[in-house]
Chains A and B, each alone.
Chain A
C-alpha cells in the first residue's frame, strides 16, 4: 500500500475586490491564504503533504504559481508576467494530502478564506469557493481488471 492514500482535491476560488489591486498585493493575499490552509495540518504527522499547488491566473499569459511539497509548509512562488491593477483573480488549487478527506479539506479551505476576508491589503475582498461540479470519486478510476497493476495503488484497492 502506498500512494493511494493521496486523494486529489481541487478548489476553484474566485477572488475579487472593489478596487484594482497590484499583482504583488494579490500574491501576498493568496500566499497568506495558502499558509492558513496549510498550517491547519502541516505540523501533524498524520497528514503527509504530497503536493499542494495553486495557479492564480492574472491574464492570458500571466500567472503566479504556488507550491508546497512537504510538511514544512513552506510555499514556493513562481511569477510569470504581471498584470498591474486587476480587480479579479481566479485561483485553482490542487491539494494532494494523505489522510485528509474531501470534506475535511474543504472545511480547512473555507476557514482559511474566512480568516482572510477582512484583509487590509485588498479593499472589500470577496472570496467565492466554487462548488465541485463533478461527482466525487471514491478512489481513482480503475475498471478494467484485465489490465496489469494500477500504477497508483498496485491494485490493492480494486
Chain B
C-alpha cells in the first residue's frame, strides 16, 4: 500500500509556486523558468490567478502561445480556492506525463491561503516548491507596511529570489539578504536580474531541486 502510494506520488507533477508582492517579477521569472524546464524536455502547465476584471499576464502568456489556466475574476479566496483545487485536479486527470505545474497567484494573496487547496489535491505542504520573489526595490514596503506578509512568505518559501538587483545599490541587496537570513538562515537565496539570462545555479536548482 505504502509503495503504491509512493508510486502515485511519484507520478504527480511537481508544483512550483511563484510567490511575491505585486509587480515583484513573478510572471517574468515564471516565463524564464518555463523556458528552462521546456528546454530540459519537461512538460509544464501554467495556472495564473490575476486580480482585476481583466487579466494582463494571462493575455501575454497566450500571445506567447502558452496554454494558461486562469483562476479568473479575483483573488484566490473562497470560491477561487475551490477553483484552484478543481483546476489542479483537472490537470492531474487530463494532462498525461505532466512534469510540472507552475502557479502564479495574485501578488495580493498570502501564500498560506493557497496551501489547503493544493493539499486537498493530494500534495504534502512540503511538496510545494515555493519560490519567493523578493523585489529588492520594495524593502521599505515590506519593512513598514507588510511585515506580516513578508514573514508569512518567508516561512513558506523553499528558496528566495532577491531580484531587481540591477536597480539598487549593493547596500540594499545586503539589507534584503539580512532580512531573509534573520528569519530563515537556512534558505537558499538567489540574487538576480530576471531580465537577463538566468544563472546556471538557478537553472540547476529548478531542475534538480524539484527532481
B71 CB-CB contact with A under 8 Å: no
Partner of B77, one of A12, A48, A68, A150: A150
CB of B123 to closest CB in A, whole Å:
17
Q: What residues of chain B lie closer than 8 Å to A144, measured between beta carbons?
A: 78-79
Annotate B3-25 by CB proximity to A: 1 below 8 A, 0 otherwise. 00000000000000000011110
* Bound-complex Cα distance A79 to B112 (A): 34
Interface size on A, residues (CB 8 A): 43
Annotate B40-76 by CB proximity to A: 1 below 8 A, 0 otherwise. 0000000000111111100110011100000000111
Q: What residues of chain A lie closer than 8 Å to B129, measured between beta carbons?
A: none
Q: What residues of chain B lie closer than 8 Å to A57, measured between beta carbons?
A: 59, 63
Interface set, chain B 80-115, CB cutoff 8 A to A: 81, 105-114
Annotate B115-157 by CB proximity to A: 1 below 8 A, 0 otherwise. 0100000000000000000010110010001101100000000
* Bound-complex Cα distance A81 to B113 (A): 37
A10 touches B135 (CB 8 A): no
CB of B159 to closest CB in A, whole Å:
21
A149 CB-CB contact with B under 8 Å: yes
Q: What residues of chain A lie closer than 8 Å to B56, measured between beta carbons?
A: 53-55, 65, 92, 94
A134 CB-CB contact with B under 8 Å: yes
Q: State which of A1-9, A20-28, A109-117, A119-127 sits at the interface with chain B.
A: A1-9
B109 touches A152 (CB 8 A): yes
A contacts, CB < 8 Å to B: 2-3, 6, 8-10, 12, 48-51, 53-55, 57, 60-63, 65, 67-70, 80, 92, 94, 96, 132, 134, 137, 140-144, 147-152, 154
B contacts, CB < 8 Å to A: 21-24, 50-56, 59-60, 63-65, 74-79, 81, 105-114, 116, 135, 137-138, 141, 145-146, 148-149
